[in-house]
Amino acid sequence: MSVRTRFAILGFIVSAPLMAAAVTITENSSVTGNASIIGAISKGSGTFVIDHPLDPQNKLLYHSFVESPDVKNIYDGVATLDEDGEAVVELPLYFFALNRDARYLVSPMSGAMPNLYLSFPANRSFFGGAIRFGIAGGIPGGEVSWQVSGIRHDTFIRAFPIVVEVDKSDDALLKPGECIYEPLCE
């Protein structure tokens, strides 16, 4: 059985045997609709662009991607502390299947809370299997902003890890002496 792939070039659909190949696009391009990439995407910079929510008829809004040498997932929210100045935050059930090395940030939003701390790290609850972490030491009824990040360790990223630093070579994206942004080579 031959595996084939289809791709479009200048409006034509091309079907070809699936093999390792590189496609270089040197002009601006646009995709209308969904695009899926099974693998990694490498870029010099990246943004999303949407119609500006305050003036959609006349403006666009650009936001940059969050970049890191780690393959991070970020979860965040706001919690209201109970009468004891504590809160329990629930994370998605897949948190531990997707992440390792959790990191926590908690910031008070409704006044100084110098005694605010993580009372227990994310763990699986005995009741219902929920994944929760605890916040304590705050003002009763106060609000806190929280963020948890984790490093991906799912099967895909373990099979295809991101290599952060790569030497330029004949087999790499660029050969020695070549630069993505030419003024850097001068």
| 126-171 pLDDT, tens digit each | 666 789 999 999 999 999 999 999 999 999 899 989 888 889 998 8
Residue 113 belongs to some domain of the structure: yes
Decide if 133 is inside a domain. yes
| Residue 41 binned pLDDT confidence (cut-offs 50, 70, 90) | confident
Residue type, 12: F
Residue 43 domain flag: no
pLDDT of residue 129: 79
Residue 105 located in a structural domain? yes
Contacts 24+ apart (CB under 8 A), 107-112: 107/144, 107/145, 107/146, 108/138, 108/139, 108/142, 108/143, 108/144, 109/78, 109/142, 109/143, 109/144, 109/145, 110/139, 110/141, 110/142, 110/143, 111/139, 111/142
In a domain, 57, yes or no: no
Task: Please answer whether residues 63 and 80 qualify as being in contact, where contact means their C-beta atoms are separated by less than 8 angstroms.
Answer: no
Residue-level pLDDT at 18: 52
Residue 16 falls within a domain, yes or no?
no
Query: Which whole number is the average pLDDT over 21-37?
Result: 78
The pLDDT of residue 62: 85
For the chain, the domain total comes to: 1
pLDDT at res. 19: 54
Residue 49 placed within a domain: no
150 occurs within a structural domain: yes
pLDDT at 142: 97
Which of the two residues, 87 and 30, has the higher pLDDT score?
Answer: 87
**CA 63/CA 73 separation, integer angstroms:** 18
pLDDT band at 12 (very low <50, low <70, confident <90, very high): very low
Give the pLDDT confidence score for residue 43 in this predicted structure.
81
Q: How distant, in Å, are the alpha carbons of 32, 75, 86, 91 from that of 124?
A: 42, 17, 19, 10
Asked if residue 5 has pLDDT above 60, the reply is: no
Domain that holds residue 155: 72-159
Q: Which residue has the higher pLDDT, 37 or 74?
A: 74
pTM: 0.75
